[in-house]
Amino acid sequence: MTKDNMKYQLVFCICFISFVSCKKSFPDNVAIGNTEGMKVTPMNVVIGSDSDLSSDNGFVDLDDNDDVDFEINMALTNYGGVEFTHTRIFSLNENTFVLGYDNYDTVFWSKDTFFVNTIPVEEYWMTRHRCYRESMLDSVEFDTIRPYVSQLEPGNFITVDDDWRSEAVHLKRPFYEDYYVVGPWNADTTIMGGDEYDMTCTNFPMNTPCYIGVKIRDDKGRDRLGWIKIQLTENTITILESAIQK
C-alpha cells in the first residue's frame, strides 16, 4: 500500500467518523426517572405563594442553550369577586412538545336548597357546576374537549411517537364558591344565592412529586426526550428538576 493510499484511507476514516458522529441519534424511548444517558438539572423554582393567591410563572431551558423551551404559568382570575388560579404549561417554540391528551369534559349541573338557622333564617339556593355527576338527577350543562398534560410516574415509558402537544395544556383547573344575597323573602327569611364550580377532576395530585413528559427537536431534526418534575400545593407549583437526553 502506497503512502498516498494510506493518506486517502486515513482521510476517509476521519470523514466517516465525523459523519457518523454528526448523525448521532438518541434512543426512541425513555423511562421516567431513569437518569442514565440523561442531562438532569436540579431547579427548585417555586411558582406562586403559600400566603396568598397570585399570578406567577417559571421557565425551563432543557438543554441550556439560552433558548427557553417551556413556561409554566399560574394565572390569577377574579370572577364575581372570587379569586382562584388555574395553571397551564406552554411550549415556547415550534420544536418543543409536551406529552398530553384530549379529554372530553362534561360539566354537570344541579341546584340544592339548604338553611342556616340564624335570625332571620338564611335560605341558600346553591347551583353546582361539577366535572363529575354526584347524583343521577344531575343534568348535563355542556360538553367540551380540552387538552391536558399526561401525569407520569417513575418507571413510565415515553416514546418519540406518543401524543405530543405544542399548544398550551392544563395542569390545574379551579374549585371555587361564590355567595350573594338574592333578597329578603319575608321578615323571618333571607334568600342567599351561591355558585360552586369544581373543575378539578383532571388535576395533578397535591403535595406529591410527579412528572411531565417533554420532547425537543434540535437543529439536526433529532428528537430528544425528557421530563420536568414538579410538585403542586394549593397555591404553588415547584419545578423540582428537568431532564433531557444527552
What does the pLDDT read at residue 110? 94
Is pLDDT at 20 greater than 70 in this prediction? no
Q: Which amino acid is at 69?
A: D
Spell out the residues 6+ positions from residue 85 whose beta carbon is closer than 8 angstroms to its own: 48, 53, 54, 55, 74, 75, 76, 77, 172, 174, 235
Mean pLDDT comparison of 1-15, 58-72, 112-126, highest-scoring range: 58-72
Strand-pairing partners, residue 47, are 237
Which comes out higher in pLDDT, residue 142 or 78? 142
pLDDT tier, 179 (very low <50, low <70, confident <90, very high otherwise) = confident
pLDDT at 154 over 70: yes
The average pLDDT across 185-191 equals 80
Is 21's pLDDT higher than 60?
no
Q: Nearest-5° angle of CA 55, CA 107, CA 173?
A: 20
The residue ranking higher by pLDDT, 125 or 110, is 110
What is the per-residue pLDDT for 118?
80
Least confident of 7-16, 115-124, 170-179, 188-197: 7-16
Phi–psi pair at 233, nearest 5 degrees: -120, -175
Strand partners, 101: 148
Does residue 63 surpass a pLDDT of 60?
Answer: yes
Please determine, for residue 210, whether its predicted confidence score (pLDDT) is greater than 90. Answer: yes
Domain that holds residue 21: 3-245
* Mean pLDDT (whole number) for 191-219: 92
Per cent of the chain over pLDDT 90 is: 56
Closest CA to 65 of 86, 39, 88, 85: 39
Res 18 pLDDT > 70? no
- Cis ω before 209 (30° cut-off from 0): no
Q: Is pLDDT above 60 for 131?
A: yes
**pLDDT given at position 23:** 53
Residue 198 to residue 2: CA distance in whole angstroms = 81
Q: Which residues pair with 204 in a beta bridge?
A: none
pLDDT, position 15: 45
Phi and psi (nearest 5°) for 4? -65, -45
Per-residue burial over 186-201, b if 16 or more Cβ lie within 10 Å, else e, is eeeebbbebbbbbbee
Mean of all residue pLDDT scores within the chain: 86
Which residues make beta-bridge pairs with 84?
77
Cα distances from 155 to residues 98, 102, 137, 163, in angstroms, run 18, 23, 41, 18
List CB contacts of 112: < 8 A, sequence separation 6 or more.
Answer: 124, 125, 126, 128
The number of domains in the chain is 1
Question: Does residue 235 have a pLDDT over 90?
Answer: no
What are the cell numbers at 168?
Answer: 398550551
pLDDT band, very low/low/confident/very high, at 2 (cuts 50, 70, 90): low
pLDDT tier at 124, thresholds 50, 70, 90: confident
Beta bridge partners of 13: none
Report the pLDDT value the prediction gives residue 105, as an integer from 0 to 100.
93
Which SS3 state, helix, strand or coil, does residue 14 take? helix
Q: Is the pTM of this model over 0.75?
A: yes
